[in-house]
Structure 1
Amino acid sequence: MTSPPALPNTAPRIPPAEHPIDADLVRGLLADQQPALADRPVRVASEGWDNAMFRLGEDLAVRLPRRRLGAALLAVEQRWLPRVAPGLPVATPSPVFAGAPGRGYPWPWSVVRWLPGASAERAPLNSDQGARWGAFLKALHRPAPAEAPFNPYRSIPLTERAKLSGPTLARLAAARPDLVDATLLRLWGEALAAEADLAPTWIHGDLHARNVITNDGVLAGVIDWGDMCRGDPAMDLDSLWMVLPDAAARAAALAAYGDVSKATLARARGWAIAIGAVVAESAAEADPMFAAAGERALIAVREEG
């Protein structure tokens, strides 16, 4: 069998931390600002593009931005997630303590609840979790106040996002016609033509499988709320293809969500195409597992379109 052509080599590397972060810094910040937690054991949990995470005992974690950009996202999470989380039917890492700069560390940081489980990227949701996912999205998509954050990549209409995603999709169509074919390009065109028929609501803004926590395939939590903002609910509905495992789960999610117009569903497909294409291309070399998730989303949209 002939292997498909390689994706363009545009993969970004994880940026270097703009300030050193280690367990000693975490202990020092806790000793100064939250001494009741300072005696808990601290150990490294993970490090991503924007944040470093340390376990704090068994039920808590400390999140510290690695970069100025991450600090802005964490500040959004600190301010707004505690207001939104109580109305959601899933667990979130809503901050239990909002830390301030200290010990030479220049940015805010958080103590959050540790959500046990695995990411849906590694331990996918069971098909029977579609209805729970739809109920979560419905609960989240409620009116956001005028002062809610504006995110320049997520709050914008899909037609604006197309200025970034359109060229990516064109490159993929040239390099991977097995992935981006005439059907997918037709659906993309229909999405761009679809009327924006909903008022903006709260949205998570980054609902891919890596930000969904599962326990034995059961939805256990949603993490990484730094991109939460006021925007088109269709942007989050892209998760039907980014997160859910099959068509049956997607149908159950839509039934639980209710009242999704053809235009909104078209825009949701468009957002799944836009995000799936960016993930498939940008992560191709640096993060093959993430890139594969983007490819799966594109294939799912195409097959159901």
Structure 2
Amino acid sequence: MNGTEVDAEQPVIDDTLVRRLVSSQFPHWADLAVRPVAHGGWDNRTFHLGDQMVVRLPSAAHYAEQVEKEQRWLPRLAPSLPLPIPTPLAHGEPAEGYPWRWSIYRWIDGDTAAPERIADLRDFATQLAQFLFALQRIDPRGGPAPGPHNFHRGGALATYDAETRQAIALLQGKIDVGAATDVWEAALATSWCGSPVWIHGDAGLGNLLVRGGRLSAVIDFGNMGVGDPACDLSIAWTLFAGASRDAFREVLAIDADTWARGRAWTLWKALIVAAGLTNSNAVEAANPWRVIDGVLEG
């Protein structure tokens, strides 16, 4: 999950529901097989539709607004990007007891990125930085400003100040409280002074695909928006280190203040997961202590 709110209304989303939705709204695809996608995501439930398409349904109300955003903006962003991103094919309506709009996309081949699937981490870091660099240079006019729809990605760190300090207090004796507070407060003292730029909002391993050991596609733009790009830097500490981290920063030409805010965004998420202040996916739940240590080391 991307924040601390938990939605009480979470419908049962399974292949039976997907078949009913597709059959009633897109009968020309009714005969295609439906089966869950392995590692289908946290914000959405994802299902194969035949061999060439995928159905994505928001898993809770606070993810539902992302559907409209992806439908509108992904086709506009795609031509300017160096790697494939999801292509919307159809826009579903609430029905069959399912309360939100949903999407059908073209399937993108590839494996979810994981360290053991990446042939050269420095090359991977360079590829991802080049993608983000291209994304940031797309005209941001009319793009969605940070807000609840993307859990304030691209907005001010101060939005999560109270939550971060609560997590630090809860982790007293388990982390270096002084160091964590210093990292957080140093970042709070900075701000993005440039024009807003496009952000992915969740450029982590779960949203990156690899083929042949190299980055092949970037998926799940539900947290996209226009604002401060610092939130897209977290992978510098969750995956990269040493030469790969240096390459990532060099390609993006990140200034010291933006780097500090990226470090703080990474720390915030790891702290609230470690402190139990948010539900989290399996990857996040397994790694917060490692990430905290990495951020505090630099």
TM-score tier, shorter chain, comes to 0.7 to 0.9
Please state whether the residue corresponding to 2:182 is helix, strand or coil.
helix
> Aligned letter for 2:184?
W
Q: Hey, what's the Cα distance between the residues in 1 that align with 2:32 and 2:65?
A: 27
Partner of 2:273: 279
Q: Hey, what's the Cα distance between the residues in 1 that align with 2:280 and 2:264?
A: 25
Partner of 1:9: none
Are the counterparts in 1 of residues 230 and 262 from structure 2 also a CA contact under 8 Å? yes
Partner of 1:249: 244
Q: Deviations over 1:120-147 (max 9, x none)?
A: 3575644121111110111111342245
Please state whether the residue corresponding to 2:85 is helix, strand or coil.
coil
Q: Hey, what's the Cα distance between the residues in 1 that align with 2:116 and 2:32?
A: 29
1:296–1:136 distance in 2 versus 1, CA, 3 Å: farther
Stretch deviating more after TM superposition (128-137 or 97-106): 97-106
Contiguous gaps of at least 5 residues in structure 2: none
The answer to whether structure 1 residue 102 and structure 2 residue 95 are counterparts is yes
The answer to whether structure 1 residue 34 and structure 2 residue 29 are counterparts is no
> Aligned letter for 1:21?
I
The answer to whether structure 1 residue 52 and structure 2 residue 26 are counterparts is no
CA RMSD of aligned residues (A): 2.8
Partner of 2:287: 293
Q: Hey, what's the Cα distance between the residues in 1 that align with 2:233 and 2:191?
A: 16
Q: Hey, what's the Cα distance between the residues in 2 that align with 1:181 and 1:199?
A: 34
Q: Deviations over 1:63-115 (max 9, x none)?
A: 11232222222222222222223322222223121222234433211111223
The answer to whether structure 1 residue 90 and structure 2 residue 86 are counterparts is no
1:62 Cα offset (Å) = 0.5
Are the counterparts in 1 of residues 9 and 61 from structure 2 also a CA contact under 8 Å? no
Are the counterparts in 1 of residues 272 and 278 from structure 2 also a CA contact under 8 Å? no
Partner of 1:7: none
Q: Whose relative contact order is higher, 1 or 2, with alpha carbons under 8 Å and at least 6 apart?
A: 1
Q: TM-score, normalised by structure 2?
A: 0.84
Percent of residue pairs identical? 35
Q: Hey, what's the Cα distance between the residues in 1 that align with 2:8 and 2:54?
A: 22
Are the counterparts in 2 of residues 120 and 213 from structure 1 also a CA contact under 8 Å? yes
Please state whether the residue corresponding to 2:35 is helix, strand or coil.
strand
> Aligned letter for 1:296?
R
1:192–1:51 distance in 2 versus 1, CA, 3 Å: same
Contiguous gaps of at least 5 residues in structure 1: 1-11
Q: Hey, what's the Cα distance between the residues in 2 that align with 1:195 and 1:64?
A: 35
The answer to whether structure 1 residue 65 and structure 2 residue 58 are counterparts is yes
The answer to whether structure 1 residue 156 and structure 2 residue 155 are counterparts is yes
1:183–1:131 distance in 2 versus 1, CA, 3 Å: same
Where in structure 2 are the equivalents of 1:159-170 lying within 5 Å?
159-170=158-169
